[in-house]
Structure 1
Amino acid sequence: MTRPSFGVQVFIGMAIGLALGFVARQYDATGLADALKIIGDIFVQLLKALVVPLVFTAIVASIAALRDLNDAAKLVAGTFVWFAITALIAVSIGLTLGTLLQPGAQAGVSAAAAVRPDTAGSWLDFLRGLVPVNILGLEASTKLADGAAKTGLSFNVLQLIVVAIAIGVAAVRTGDAGAPFLAFNASALAIFRRILRWVVRLTPIGTGALLGSAVVRYGWQSLSALGTFAIAVYIGLALVLFVVYPLLLLANGMSPRRFFATAWPAIQLGFVSRSSIATLPVTEQVAERLGVPRSYAAFAVPFAATTKMDGCAAIYPAIAALFVAQYYGIPLHGTDYLLIVLVSVLGSAATAGLTGALVMLTLTLSTLGLPLEGAGLLLAIDPILDMGRTAVNVAGQALVPAIVAKRQGLLGEATTGEPALA
């Protein structure tokens, strides 16, 4: 008996997860809801556990390989240019929709929901965050939960990238003395890629559980008071994902159908996991299957996962900033619109691949001088919006390396069907 293709398996898993989520929510099946959450969390944890070793070894290997590529500097410059181009288009769409639909003027949310966020983005914190605090980019944070203080460790992927680039360059410049390290790194990368293949095989189960858990936790009832805002955000996301990206692909002589057939596993995982970082290993595999050289993909995709955020850092903060201004009756002028564009194009890295876009939103609001309490008005439906935002983020993180590789004449033959992970 022939097994269904990997894509069919994922869709079956999502359908089952969706059905189980509705059952758990409708009949208040606590045990089923807990099981969905635990399975989904374990899947995301497995992916996140691979991010640090994969990013580090892949970038070190890419530094070693980039020296053999012609015009490596052009590849890096082209990556930044296309990050800016796509962000500019996305934020323009967000500003247009926010101006036309006036979501803040039509909001039914109570002013009592306005609360100042515990954390807010700032340019100074972003610049300080670029400097690694340790070689793995590990950070400790303490939060109050259930009346008790709990300390947890997390990692700053942007700092990890900075460390990996520095070590990779140093190993290459060291010459013969650095050769054994580079050989060991290449071996470690191959091992971690093998483990990744095993984890990705769990995608049908993991995405189904994540989707079911999302249905149980969030539902859709909270959308009513902020319906116009949610509609504006999702229209903007759909325009970027299904109109702008296909047009850019066609303009560069690439097939949108083939792109989406190849990138869809990463896009749908981004949708249900709500994290570019958790999706990063899959996104890198997708980029390679699109024909992007491994040496370039290993650099571009991890960097994109922390700085390429068309959903979280362009569309959403643009519409949200206009929402806050309209809600409080604060007029915005041409210079304010230009500031929103500037923050979106230059400040994407402030989101750092994390779940949610609160950091980028507060950065935008503080730059414009708008009340940060306005961010609290939108928190009720943020998880629902974050699904679509992250899906667009991940699509863009695969798109830009493919376009740059194509324009540099490096794009190999794209493939479709089951991911090349076996």
Structure 2
Amino acid sequence: MNHPAGHKPLTILIAADTYPPNVNGAAQFGYRLARGMTKRGHDVHVLAPATESGASHTEAGGEWSVHRLRSHSTPTHEYWRICLPWEIRRDVSMLFDRIQPDVVHIQCHYMVGEYTLYEAVKRGIRVVATNHFMPENVNPFLPFPSWFKEIVAKNSWRDMGRVMGKADAVTTPTPLAAKAMHDHAFLRKVLPVSNGIDSSAYELKPGEDIEPHPHPTVLFVGRLAEEKHINVLIDAIAKTPVELNVHCEIVGGGEVKPALQAQAARLGLGGRVKFLGLASDEVLRIAYLRATLFCQPGTAELQSLVTLEAMSAYTPVLLADAMALPHLVDGGENGYLFPPNDSDQLAARITELLGLPSADLERMGKASRSMAEKHDINASLATFEALYYGALTEDLLAEYI
């Protein structure tokens, strides 16, 4: 294995506050980062909360080591678990003693990321910090009034700056997210590095023939959470012309699923809105390949890997004009933006696109694929590897936002 500037393989510790089997973008990135760095010849260790009650432990088997910290469930989230500082400090320190990491890569400024960073800084170990967080991601799980949530958000940004400001390098998936961290967390040097995607995984294999749906279908993939605004998509489906017979597939699980199912039934869409639940990689891949359009109505997306996956499958997209999503749309070329929470405009765009000749939709799908290929995961892995070695030039570092 060749490494930058002839460097030897590293022992890498990835600290993640959410990791599979959790289903969200940050968890998937942590998994793909571990897999990618392992394939590049490094000794990779992942540190994450345990998925159930019990002592800290190391999972058996696997291509890389996964170490689980004692954790506790939260009453407002179906799978999110928290680690308490006084319960994990010693275990984190003992893990450092055992594996002797060359570099630490934290994925969040919360407990696991924070105390792993503190241990690394104390030992003089290089730290890279990546942010996947927006305050809007946790708002639905805080049973407080809006004014109090604003205080929590302000404090969250402040804590992010305090923790990640100690890292040797700070990254986030998009330039827009980097600007938000600059403006709200007061981090002066944030490098936009795409989470990356393997586009080849979402195209037809040689000799493969996957039939499209018999009716136009709009696909959503993601956690069924308040900030995803899937209710807006369901409302929009109900507002499209009846003769178009527009269907919708929703892949994912989450706390608002019962409310969404009730909404679809109330609007008489029981036969046109299908909830697929949590899907395997292959089922998800086929859903992307069969869909006519992909829609992401969320308003707190730092990048949206699922949108990039859909684009890799040659699918036109309809995305809310919010956070990082505008970076994934070239208006009229691969899809359109619509005003956040505006089901009328979304319905109009769905109707407009489904009225186009198939050749135009095919052209837009090809444009989506071309845009997705710019987020090749190998380029992202190479950038992170260079950050681990401290091999990026001062000229590039000076371009941080």
TM range (shorter): under 0.3
Q: TM-score, normalised by structure 1?
A: 0.25
Q: TM-score, normalised by structure 2?
A: 0.26
Structure number with the higher strand fraction is 2
Structure number with the higher helix fraction is 1
